């Protein structure tokens, strides 16, 4: 049996070109390196915007790394046992984020040892996927928001997502109306409330905003409010999208079985890597839900190329100036290219994601307000 010989990691910060909030000016990257018993090497990463990266790094160093040595290096085989080993620290959150660092590195090593890409190992089913322009823009003025939307149009995107959740619904209506007018009737428009509403406010807001032809409303309620989302789905006609803040295949199953989400958006790192992501994709297909992976297009895009065909198109999120390549964080050329609104894969081995260890930045203050921290993608 090919086993894991060693797992090492390093923490670094990547400054954001466009801060996501006053206290969200960088993202934390924990770059990982695995060596197998046959000498093959793989590179992966864990990731967290501003908050929690040191804790993830500590978990990798003190718990994941020693527990992984000697276990199977075949991608996916060690995942469940390690998740059970870490479960006392929580079933999801920093535990699954840390597990992603190992899981991605093992998939990378598997593909590199075969001289090919991870998408080839999994089986690429399409040559390109449609992307949508996205940004953290609730704090933008209307003029700044429209300028951003125009940049997405000029870049060839025919789908965009903007933030909503202003204290006054009238301001949300004005902003969404202006964006729809700029987009015209034929481009897709999605809105994201980032957990800012309670049930009745969400019902009223979506009813008022639905006149603008919305493809989905994202995270209208607190992310773990299963009953609330199920009730909201009964009240509104706009599909509900969520998943960036769900951390396990079990939780995705809960929401899908309850009819609480019609679009699921797993973040491949937050759920624990490629291994659980593939299980979530199977669940989404079983329940007839659309799946659009959250953020990280250099990783998400590769996986999107491999997902089975369903009744729903797979979309990849491209947050403006937030990709690792755009931030200058990668040691190698980006494994994907996004152009004219489409993502394609470039020739590379493994995942093609290794980080240049030259980055700086400062963590957010411990007393930064929660409302600012919520405003992610």
DSSP label of 88: G
Please give the angle made by the CA atoms of 154, 160 and 164, to the nearest 5 degrees. 130
Cα distance between residue 54 and residue 282, in whole Å: 32
CA distance 127 to 119: 11
Q: Is 294 a catalytic residue?
A: yes
**DSSP character at residue 265:** -
Respond yes or no: is residue 57 known to be catalytic. no
338: three-class secondary structure by DSSP: strand
Residues, the chain? 377
Neighbours of 220 (CB within 10 A): 32
Among the listed residues 33, 161, 163, 374, the single catalytic one is 163
Write down the catalytic residue from 229, 294, 348, 376.
Answer: 294
Cα dist from 338 to 17, 131, 186, 319, whole Å: 18, 8, 21, 11
> How far is Cα of residue 2 from the mean position of the Cα atoms in its chain?
30
Residues annotated as catalytic (active site), given as ranges: 163, 294
């Amino acid at each position: 049996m090919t086993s894991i010989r060693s797992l090492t990691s390093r923490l670094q910060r990547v400054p954001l070109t466009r801060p996501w909030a006053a206290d969200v000016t960088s993202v934390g990257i924990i770059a990982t390196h695995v060596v197998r018993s046959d000498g093959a090497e793989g590179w992966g990463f864990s990731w967290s915007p501003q908050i929690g990266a040191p804790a993830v790094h500590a978990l990798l160093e003190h718990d994941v790394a020693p527990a992984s040595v000697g276990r199977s290096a075949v991608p996916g085989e060690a995942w469940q046992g390690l998740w059970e080993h870490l479960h006392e620290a929580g079933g999801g959150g920093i535990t699954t984020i840390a597990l992603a660092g190992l899981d991605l590195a093992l998939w990378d090593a598997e593909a590199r040892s075969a001289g090919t890409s991870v998408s080839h190992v999994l089986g690429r089913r399409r040559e390109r996927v449609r992307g949508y322009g996205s940004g953290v823009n609730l704090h933008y003025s209307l003029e700044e928001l429209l300028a951003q939307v125009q940049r997405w149009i000029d870049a060839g995107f025919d789908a965009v997502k903007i933030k909503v959740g202003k204290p006054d619904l009238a301001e949300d209506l004005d902003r969404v109306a202006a964006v729809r007018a700029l987009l015209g009737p034929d481009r897709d428009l999605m809105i994201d409330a980032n957990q800012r509403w309670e049930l009745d406010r969400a019902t009223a807001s979506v009813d008022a905003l639905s006149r603008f032809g919305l493809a989905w409303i994202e995270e209208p309620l607190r992310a773990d409010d299963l009953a609330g989302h199920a009730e909201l789905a009964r009240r509104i006609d706009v599909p509900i999208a969520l998943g960036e803040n769900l951390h396990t295949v079990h939780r995705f199953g809960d929401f899908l079985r309850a009819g609480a989400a019609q679009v699921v958006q797993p973040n491949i790192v937050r759920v624990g890597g490629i291994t659980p992501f593939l299980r979530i994709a199977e669940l989404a297909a079983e329940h007839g839900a659309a799946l659009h992976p959250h953020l990280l297009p250099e990783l998400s895009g590769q996986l999107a190329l491999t997902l089975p065909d369903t009744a729903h198109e797979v979309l990849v999120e491209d947050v403006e100036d937030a990709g690792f390549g755009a931030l200058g964080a990668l040691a190698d050329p980006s494994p994907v290219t996004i152009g004219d609104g489409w993502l394609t894969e470039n020739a590379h081995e493994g995942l093609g994601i290794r980080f240049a260890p030259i980055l700086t930045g400062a963590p957010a203050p411990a007393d930064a307000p929660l409302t600012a921290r919520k405003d992610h993608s």
